Amino acid sequence: MGKLTFRRRKKSALPPTIEVARNSMMAAAAAAASKVVVKKKAAGARLWMRIDRWGQSEVIECDKSMIMKRASIPARDLRILGPIFSHSSSILAREKAMIVNLEYIRAIVTAEEVLLLDPLQQEVLPFVDQLRRQLPHKSPSEHVAGQMTSPYNELQSPTTRRWLTVPEAAGGLQDELPFEFQVLEIALEVVCTYLDSNVAELERDAYPALDELAIHVSTKNLEHVRSLKSNLTRLLARVQKVRDEIEHLLDDNEDMAQLYLTRKWIQNQQSEAMPGAMGLNGVVPAAHHLARLSSTRSGSLVSNYQNELDVEDLEMLLEAYFTQLDGTRNKILSVREYIDDTEDYVNIQLDNQRNELIQLQLTLTIASFAIAVETLLAGIFGMNIPCTLYNTNGIFGRVVGSMSAACILLFFLVLWYARWKKLIGT
| 115 and 140 co-located in one domain | no
What span, in angstroms and rounded, lies between the C-alpha atoms of 272 and 158?
A: 8
Same domain assignment for residues 289 and 211: yes
Residues 264 and 201 in one domain: yes
Q: Give the tens place of pLDDT for each residue, 223-247.
A: 999 999 999 999 999 999 999 999 9
Domain boundary residue among 103, 122, 141?
A: 122
Residue 15 lies in a domain: no
The reply to whether 12 falls in a domain is: no
* Same-domain status, 326 and 373: no
CA dihedral over 77, 81, 82, 83, signed as positive or negative: positive
Together in a domain, 143 and 212: yes
The sign of the torsion formed by the CA atoms of 208, 236, 188, 328 equals: positive
How many angstroms separate the CA atoms of 346 and 353, rounded?
11
Task: Give the pLDDT of residue 192.
Answer: 93
65, 97, 122 - which closes a domain: 122
Instruction: Answer yes or no: is 254 within a domain.
Output: yes
- Residues 95 and 198 reside in one and the same domain: no
Residue 94 maps to which CATH number?
2.40.128.330
Q: Please state, in angstroms and rounded to a whole number, the distance separating the CA atoms of residues 115 and 117.
A: 7
Q: What are phi and psi of 260, to 5 degrees?
A: -80, 80
Shared-domain flag, residues 223 and 372: no
pLDDT at residue 19, rounded to an integer: 52
pLDDT at position 162:
36
- Is 227 found in the same domain as 112? no
Measured between alpha carbons, how far is 95 from 258 in angstroms, rounded to an integer? 8
Rounded mean pLDDT for each run of 10 residues along the chain, 426 residues in total? 41 46 50 39 71 86 85 81 73 88 89 88 88 69 43 38 40 63 92 93 93 90 92 93 92 88 82 60 42 39 51 90 94 94 91 90 92 87 76 81 90 90 79
Residue 425 in any domain: the answer is no
- Residue 169 lies inside a defined structural domain of this protein: yes
Question: For the chain, what is the domain count?
Answer: 3
Contacts of range 145-150, beta carbons closer than 8 Å, 24 or more positions apart: 147/171
Residue 24 covered by a domain: no
Examine the domain organization and report whether 164 and 58 are in the same domain.
no
The pLDDT value given to residue 307: 56
**Domain finish residue from 122, 138, 157:** 122
Domain assignment present for 47: yes
> Average pLDDT over the chain, rounded to whole?
75
Q: Does residue 25 lie in a domain region?
A: no
Shared-domain flag, residues 228 and 98:
no
How far apart, in whole angstroms, are the C-alpha atoms of residue 115 and residue 109? 6
Task: Determine the Cα angle at 112 with ends 109 and 115, to 5°.
Answer: 40
Position 344 scores a pLDDT of 92
Return the CATH number at 337: 1.20.58.340
Q: Which domain holds residue 368?
A: 353-420
Instruction: Tell me, yes or no, whether 169 and 224 share the same domain.
Output: yes
Cα distances from 170 to residues 175, 176, 300, 346, 377, in angstroms, run 10, 9, 11, 62, 108
Residue 190 has a pLDDT of 93
- Statement to judge: residues 81 and 169 lie in one domain: no
